[in-house]
């Protein structure tokens, strides 16, 4: 159990995306990013907090992520490009961008791939682009599979389930669909499960699913992430450091 808890901790994008976020709350978030067991993979915040994160966590190995076109995915191509560029200027080395998934569901099959390609062009080779599909909005798994494939083909470094801002966030069904799309694409693309994952037991379910589809050795921070904040609490408890676990806002 402790081995899987340590692994899950290293896969964690420690996240706070609340309208009530402040510099103080983000400092508190960053203080939890490096533990006695491992550091988290990244902190994920709104762009205006990136500089603070870098000041606090530079040279720790933690990556710096911020969101673009968030949360509804409807700000348009130009805005998504501008926001992506701004995140990089502010020191982000990972961008979590929401595609216009509602347009995809409505039948527009070009706007989402166009946005992914344009944002990846801005990111280049040194900044990871994590593409949020909002999987809970899809009643049809075939459509989610198709959007996953289209995002991968357009340059996504990761495909991510959810914003954490809708009624349905990550599910194992959606994770299976997206992981199968990655496998079937034959391309190098990671997977991120986000929203509603708060316990070690839940995390293990996702890791076991990914191992079954992609292979045990595929699970690493380079290819697999959890977007969460509350999950850290349970992982630290499993590892015997309950005093370090404190409730915090986010996914």
Query: For this structure, is 96 an active site residue?
Result: yes
For the chain, how are helix, strand and coil distributed in percent, rounded to 5?
A: 50, 15, 35
Catalytic residue of the set 32, 120, 130, 192: 192
160 is catalytic: yes
- Per the residue annotation, which of 32, 120, 130, 160 is the catalytic one? 160
Residue 240: CB atoms within 10 Å? 12
Burial classification of residue 101, based on how many CB atoms lie within 10 Å of its CB (0-12 exposed, 13-18 middle, 19 or more buried)? buried
Considering the candidates 13, 96, 157, 234, report the single residue annotated as catalytic.
96
Question: 131 - beta bridge partners?
Answer: 97, 159
DSSP 25-51: HHHHHHHTSB-SS-B-SEEEE-GGGHH
Is 192 an active-site residue?
yes
Which residues are part of the catalytic machinery? 96, 160, 192
């Amino acid at each position: 159990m402790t081995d899987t808890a340590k692994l899950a901790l290293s896969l964690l994008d420690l996240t706070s995306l609340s309208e009530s976020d402040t510099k103080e709350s983000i400092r508190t978030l960053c203080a939890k990013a490096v533990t006695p067991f491992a550091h988290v993979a990244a902190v994920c915040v709104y762009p205006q907090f990136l500089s603070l994160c870098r000041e606090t966590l530079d040279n720790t190995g933690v990556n710096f992520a911020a969101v673009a076109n968030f949360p509804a995915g409807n700000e348009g191509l130009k805005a998504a490009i501008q926001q992506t560029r701004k995140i990089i200027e502010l020191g982000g080395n990972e961008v979590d961008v929401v595609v216009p998934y509602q347009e995809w569901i409505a039948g527009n099959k070009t706007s989402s791939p166009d946005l992914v390609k344009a944002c990846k062009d801005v990111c280049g080779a040194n900044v990871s682009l994590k593409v949020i599909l909002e999987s809970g909005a899809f009643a049809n798994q075939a459509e989610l599979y198709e959007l996953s494939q289209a995002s991968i083909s357009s340059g996504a470094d990761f495909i991510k389930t959810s914003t954490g801002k809708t009624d349905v966030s990550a599910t194992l069904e959606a994770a299976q669909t997206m992981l199968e799309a990655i496998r079937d694409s034959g391309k190098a693309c990671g997977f991120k499960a986000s929203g509603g994952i708060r316990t070690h037991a839940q995390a293990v379910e996702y890791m076991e699913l990914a191992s079954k589809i992609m292979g045990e050795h595929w699970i690493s921070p380079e290819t697999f992430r959890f977007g969460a904040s509350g999950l850290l609490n349970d992982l630290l408890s499993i590892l015997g450091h309950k005093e370090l676990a404190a409730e915090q806002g986010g996914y």
